[in-house]
A and B are shown apart, each in its own frame.
Chain A
Amino acid sequence: MTARYYWGLHLGLIALLFAGHFVLPAYQHGNVARIMVLAVYAMGYNIAFGYTGLLSLGHAMFFGAGMYGMGLLSYHFDAGALPAMAAGIVAGVVLSLVVGLLALRTAGVSFMIVTLMFSQALAMTLVYFRDITRGDEGFVIPSATRRLWGMDLSDEAHRYLIAWALFSVVLIFTLWLVRHRWGRVFVALRENEERASLLGYDAFRTKLGALVISGTISALSGAAYALLFGYAGATFAGVQYSIFPLLWVLLGGAGTVLGPFVGALFMFYLIDLSSGVTDAYMLIAGVALVLLTLFLPHGLVGEVKRRLWRDLP
C-alpha cells in the first residue's frame, strides 16, 4: 500500500488521541496521558530493539537519566521546565553515547548482560548518593518547574495535551526515521549484520546512532514523566522498568511504529482491569501474556503487518 495509507493510519491515531482529550472520562483521560508518555519510552526502545535488533535489558538507565537529569536540576537549582527538560535530554544523549561506545563492543547475550549491569549500576548510584538524589524514596518535583508558557502542568488538561504533543512528535519522527535511509540500514543490521557490513555500512557507528536515538527518546520520556506527574524516584531506574518497554514492544509488535503504543495500552489496561476482578491479577496478566506469545508471536500490530499489511512500517 502507498505511503498515503500508513501516514493516514498514524495521523489518524494522533487525531483520535486528540479527540480523546474532549471525550474521555476523567479516569481514562489521566490513564491515556500516562500511557502516551510511557509509549514514547517504548517507541525509543523499539528503535534499538525492534528495528536494529539490539536487545537491551538496561533501558531504564536512559529513562532514569532523563528523569533525574530533569528532576535534579529542578530540585536543587529551581530550574524552569525547559532548562530542566533540556538537562534530562542531554543526560540521555551523554549516557547512551557512553554506554553505546562500551556496550556495542559486545553483541547478543553479552550485550543484554552489559546493558543490564550498566543499568543496575546507575540504579545503585541513585540510591547510594541519597543526599543528592533522595535515594529510593525519591522526591517531588517542585511546582515552580511544572509551569510552561503560563500553563500549569499539574492541570489535567495541560498534562494530557503536552503528553499528546510529545507522543505525536515522537511517533511522526519514528515513522519518518524508519522510512528514511537510516532506518532501512537499522533493519539491514538487524536482519544480517555481516551482509550489511559487506555492503559497506559501518555497523558499529550505525548501531551507536540507533542506540543514542533510542536512549535519548527514552530519556525524553523519563524527563516528561517526572515533569508531568511530579515525582522522580530510583524505582524508575530499576530492572523492572527495563523489562516493561521490552514487554510493551513484544506485545504490540517489535519493528512496527504503532506496536509500542498498542503494547503499552494493552498492558496498562490488562493490569488495571484484572486488578478489579481478583487479587491474583498478576496471574491473569501472566496467562494473557503467555497466550499472546503462543498465538500472536509477532505482537498485536505485528500480526496485522504479517497477515494484512506487509509494508506497514
Chain B
Amino acid sequence: MTKLILPAGEGAKLHSPGRRKALKTLAAGGVAAATMPLLGRYASAQSAAPIRIGFQKHATGIGAAYGRWYERATLAAVEKINGEGGINGRPVEIVTEDDGTDPKRGAEVLEKFANQSNCDVAYGTLFSHVVMGSAPRAAELKLPYFVVSEGHHVASGALNRWTLQPGITDVKSQIQAMAPFITDVLGKKVTMIFPDYAFGYDHRDNLAPAIEAAGGEVIEKIAIPPSETSYTKYFPRIPRETEVIYHVMIGPGVLTFVKELGEFFGPSRPEIFGFVDSIEATDLTSPGLEFLDGTYFWEGMPRYAQADDTEYSTAYRAAVGCDANGASLADPKDVATYAHMFGCWETLHIIKAGMEACDYKGIEDRQALIEAVEAMTDMPEGFDHPQGPKKFNGKTHQTFGQQYISKVEGGKLVKVHTASIEDTMYPDEVDYTTMSF
C-alpha cells in the first residue's frame, strides 16, 4: 500500500479542507505565503515541495517481522527530521510499497518509486535477494538506493554506483569483530550451525578465516535446511571436543532448535554464541528459551536498556516506541528487531546529511547526492547515530561501526563487550567511485 507520511504538527493539517482553501488563497497571494504557519516552518527552502523517500518494505513474505519494525523506525526518524525542519528546509514524505520480500516485486517497486511516485531516492531493503534483484533497476533508473541489509553484497562489489549501505554494517565485518571474543573468552574449537541458504553462507564463508586469524579453529560446519522442523538428528554431528557452538538459525524453527539443543546437552553444554538474528523479534522469556541463559549473542544494538546507555540511545528507544526490554510500548509481547532497525533511523539521517551537503533540489541532483554520501567518512555518535560512531567507506559504499556482545542473564541480554570499529575493518574489495554513473 502506498502511504504518504507528512510532517507532524502543522504540516499534517495540509489535507484539511480549510488549509487547502487557505493554500489556494496563498497561491493567489504570492509572497503572502511565507506568513502562513506551514510554509513558515520551511520558509528557508527555495521550494517547500516534500522530499519523497520510497520505502521498500517487507510487509509480506518471510521478511514481514522486520518490515513492520523497519517501518516504525522509519516513521520515527522522519518525524524527528521533520520536527527539526526537514531536509534543506523541505518536509520529508515516506512513500511505502510492499515488495513481498520478493526480488521481482522489489524491482517493480523501484520502478514505481522512480516513474510513478516521483520519489527522490529509494531506501530500506533488508533481505539480500531483494537487494540483488532491485539494485540493477536502481542503476538503470539512476535512482539512489540506500539499503539496510547487512549483506556483504554491497562491499563485495556485486552491485553498482547507485546502491549504498551507509547505515548498517555488513555480516563480514560483524563476524570478523566477534572472532577475537569467541576465541579469547569462550574457546578455540568452534562448531557452527547455520541455515542452508544465503544468510547462513555468509557466516559459513567468513567465520572460519576470522576464527583462524584469532587463533582458533572451526572444526565442524553443520548446515540445516531452512524448511527443517526438527533438529535433534543434526546434533550428533557436533564433535565432542567442541568448546563453542556458533549458531545463526533464523525463522519459526528457532524455538524448537533451542529447545532441542537444550535437551541434547542437558546441564553440561559447551559455550554457546549466536547471532541475535536467531531470536530477533522473539521474546526471550518465551517457554523453551530458558536454555539460552548464560549464552552469548552478537547484537547490532543492545535490545535491552543497559546501565551505560547514552542519552542518544535512550532518546532513540523512546522515539521508536520501545520499552526497556526492546518491545513495543503498546504491546510488551511485540518485540522489536532492535539489533537491525537502527539502520533505518541512521540511513535516513545520512540521506538528510547528504542532501544538505550537496544542496539537493530535485532529481537532477541525484548524482550529486551519491557523490556527497561517498565523500562522507566519520559519523560521530549522536542523536542521528544512536547505535554508535561509524566510519563510512565511500569507495565500497559500506559503513563500519561498533558491534556488541551480550550475555543472557535472567532472561535479558546484558552487554558484556563492545568491539571497536577497527575490529570490523577489512581491505577494500571494490572501488565504486571509479565506476561511471
Chains A and B belong together in one complex: yes
Given A137-B198, A229-B136, check contact A275 B103 (CB 8 Å): no
B158-A139 in contact (CB<8A): yes
Identify which of residues 205-246 in chain A touch chain B, using a CB-to-CB cut-off of 8 Å: 229-231, 233-236
Give B101-133 interface residues, CB cut-off 8 Å to A: 102-104, 107-108, 111-112, 114-116, 128-129, 132-133
Query: Measured between alpha carbons, how far is A130 from B195 in the docked complex, in Å?
Result: 13
**Beta-carbon contacts of B1-18 to A below 8 Å, as 1s and 0s?**
110000000000000000
Question: Number of contacting residues on B, CB 8 A?
Answer: 34
Which one of B97, B133, B139, B159 lies within 8 Å of A233 (CB-CB)?
B133
Bound-complex Cα distance A295 to B177 (A): 61
Instruction: Kindly supply a per-residue 1/0 record for chain A positions 112-142, scoring 1 wherever the CB is within 8 Å of any chain B CB and 0 otherwise.
Output: 0000000000000001101000111111110
Interface residues of B in 182-202 (CB under 8 A from A): 196-198, 201
Is B340 in the interface zone, CB < 8 Å from A?
A: no
Which residue, of B60, B139, B198, has the highest number of chain A Cβ atoms within 10 A? B198
Contact present for A233 and B136 (CB under 8 Å): no
**Contact across chains for B197 and A135 when beta carbons are under 8 A apart:** yes
* B140 CB-CB contact with A under 8 Å: yes
CB of B364 to closest CB in A, whole Å: 16
- Could you tell me if A140 and B159 are in contact, using CB atoms closer than 8 angstroms? yes
Q: Is the CB of A277 within 8 A of B1?
A: yes
Tell me, yes or no, whether B180 is within 8 Å of chain A by CB.
no
Q: A30 to B107: give the CA distance in the assembly, Å.
A: 11
Cα distance A281–B59 in the bound complex, in angstroms: 11
Q: Does B374 contact A (CB under 8 A)?
A: no
B198 to chain A: which residues have CB within 8 Å?
130, 134-137
Residue B98, interface by CB 8 Å: yes
Bin chain A's interface residue count: 35 or more
| Chain A hits for B197, CB < 8 A | 127, 135-136
Interface string of A130-169 (1 = CB under 8 A from B): 1000111111110000000000001110000000000000
Minimal beta-carbon separation of A245 from chain B (angstroms): 14
A231/B133 contact (C-beta < 8 A), A127-B197, A279-B1, A279-B98 known: yes
Interface residues of A (CB under 8 A from B): 25-27, 29-31, 34, 127-128, 130, 134-141, 154-156, 229-231, 233-236, 272, 275-279, 281-282
Closest 8 CB pairs of A and B: A230-B136, A27-B115, A26-B115, A27-B116, A137-B198, A279-B1, A231-B133, A154-B140
16 residue pairs A–B, Cβ–Cβ below 8 Å: A25-B116, A26-B116, A27-B116, A30-B115, A127-B196, A135-B198, A136-B198, A137-B132, A137-B198, A154-B139, A154-B140, A231-B107, A233-B132, A234-B129, A235-B103, A275-B1
- What 10 additional pairs, Cβ within 8 angstroms, besides A235-B102, A275-B98? A31-B108, A127-B196, A136-B198, A137-B132, A140-B159, A231-B107, A231-B132, A233-B132, A281-B98, A282-B60
